Structure 1
Amino acid sequence: MTATARETVPETGPSCLGSEPPGRRERKKQRTREALINAAFTLFAEKGFDATTVEEIADAVDVSSRTFFRYFASKEDVALTFQEEQVRAVASVLAARPADEPIMTALRRTVVEIARACEGGELGFDPGRFECMLSMMNDSPALMAGSLEHAQRKQALLTEIVARRMGLDPGADLRPHVVAAAAHCGFQAAADAIRRKGGTFATLSEVVDQTFAILESGLNEPPPPGE
């Protein structure tokens, strides 16, 4: 059956009467989007990011490439949905931290919690996808470039979140910008250390904890023993 034929098969049920229940269309779109993400990560794990094509992802869900591009601009966008989920988790977890916690302490505990959730399959994260993402970042310069661009775009959002927590106006105070930039660089440094697979680094959450401990204690001195 051709892709066109597959996509024009009429549904049975109430929608055929012209009175589709509210929300059904959106739920169907969400299911298709999730199916494309699932298929993509399955193929990424089997073949690698660069060897996987948009056509293969679409075929795995039994839709056309045209349908794929209704949901994603590229296969990089599919892979980076995991990074998008991490950004949303940062906003949620950071907002729940105690209000009297210093900002770098709150960021450190937030990012470590999310890294551990990714590794352990908590907060809705899939550890298999997490491992796949780390592997792809190491193997694909194109995806790494896309990841860095995505993170750069999201830094403005992190700046706003930090500014609200600090009670500052980011248009008049540089501190939220500096804190957000430091957090961004800290996480990238930790991820880079893991990707290089050198030294004694074990898990991303452990390296993130060490990295943010350095930021929290200040860059002029090493962190206290045990930090």
Structure 2
Amino acid sequence: MSAPAHTRTIARDAVRAALSRTAFELSRERGFDKVTVDEMAAAAGVSRSTLLRYFGTKEEAVLSAFDDHAMGFAEELRARPADEDHWTALRRSLEGVVPFYLQDPQAALAMTRFILGTPALQSRQAEKRHGWRPVLTAALAERAGHSGRPPVRLAVLVAAALDCMDIAVAHWADSDGQEDLAVLLAEGFDTLTSLSVGSAAR
């Protein structure tokens, strides 16, 4: 990527992040269902068309903070040691979610509670998580040297790993951030490992 193109990408990402923060704060203050796209745009100081150019819907505007996670997890999966079993590779890759939530715990708690307490956002987030499955499954298959359609067992492992992550985050939010997110995530993975998921993950 050329320097000017890279600079434009950084600038676009910064604008997108600022718009998303405004959409989130406005929705949290007034209630997601009571805020319109026009109001989000006005609060951010941009036109409706500009906001919709960055986000197709107001749900996307609020949830965009999670957009890069799937690709980041996939890259981490591909980079895991070749002799590491699939379940361990997934575990180590998804542990990357912990710094995201803990770099600003109070903001992350507010966002998580807000999403979990807003049906439209919770539903859309679940859809986005479902969309992560093929991305991570493809990465898992690639590191294992599988060509063509990934085996079902890899898709099942990915789905289980993502559920461990979502449950850990929900429990962390329920504890008002008092419980250790890394410990909760480890507990989820250890539980399935003890049920022999790990032994079947090679």
Shared topology, TM-score over 0.5? yes
2:168–2:181 Cα contact (<8 Å) kept:
yes
* Match among 106, 117, 125 for residue 147 of structure 1: 125
Gaps of 5+ in 1: 1-20, 221-227
- Taking structure 1 as the reference length, what is the TM-score of the superposition? 0.71
1:137–1:143 Cα contact (<8 Å) kept:
yes
Provide the C-alpha distance between the structure 2 equivalents of 1:128 and 1:92, rounded to a whole number of angstroms.
28
The yes-or-no answer on 1:96 pairing with 2:79 is yes
- Decide which moves more: 53-62 or 184-193: 184-193
**Equivalences for 1:112-123 in 2 at 5 Å?**
112=95, 114-121=96-103
Q: Cα distance, 1:26 vs. partner?
A: 5.6
1:104–1:215 Cα contact (<8 Å) kept:
no
- Taking structure 2 as the reference length, what is the TM-score of the superposition? 0.78
User: Secondary structure, in 3 states, of the residue corresponding to 1:80?
Assistant: helix
Quick one: percent identity of the two aligned structures? Answer: 32
Q: Deviations over 1:78-114 (max 9, x none)?
A: 22212223223312333332222211112112222x2
Corresponding residue for residue 14 of structure 1: none
Provide the C-alpha distance between the structure 2 equivalents of 1:77 and 1:163, rounded to a whole number of angstroms.
29
Compared with structure 1, are the counterparts of its residues 139 and 207 closer, same or farther at alpha carbon in structure 2 (3 Å cutoff)? same
* Match among 163, 184, 201 for residue 207 of structure 1: 184
Q: Cα distance, 1:154 vs. partner?
A: 1.8
Compared with structure 1, are the counterparts of its residues 129 and 167 closer, same or farther at alpha carbon in structure 2 (3 Å cutoff)? farther
Aligned length: 192
Provide the C-alpha distance between the structure 1 equivalents of 2:43 and 2:102, rounded to a whole number of angstroms.
27
Provide the C-alpha distance between the structure 2 equivalents of 1:163 and 1:65, rounded to a whole number of angstroms.
41
The one-letter amino acid of 1:156's match is P
Q: Deviations over 1:155-214 (max 9, x none)?
A: 11111011112222362632222221221232233344445x37xx81433221110112
Provide the C-alpha distance between the structure 2 equivalents of 1:210 and 1:166, rounded to a whole number of angstroms.
26
Corresponding residue for residue 58 of structure 1: 41
**Equivalences for 1:43-192 in 2 at 5 Å?**
43-112=26-95, 114-121=96-103, 127-169=105-147, 171=149, 173-192=151-170
Q: Cα distance, 1:40 vs. partner?
A: 1.9
- Decide which moves more: 47-56 or 144-153: 47-56
Provide the C-alpha distance between the structure 2 equivalents of 1:85 and 1:152, rounded to a whole number of angstroms.
14
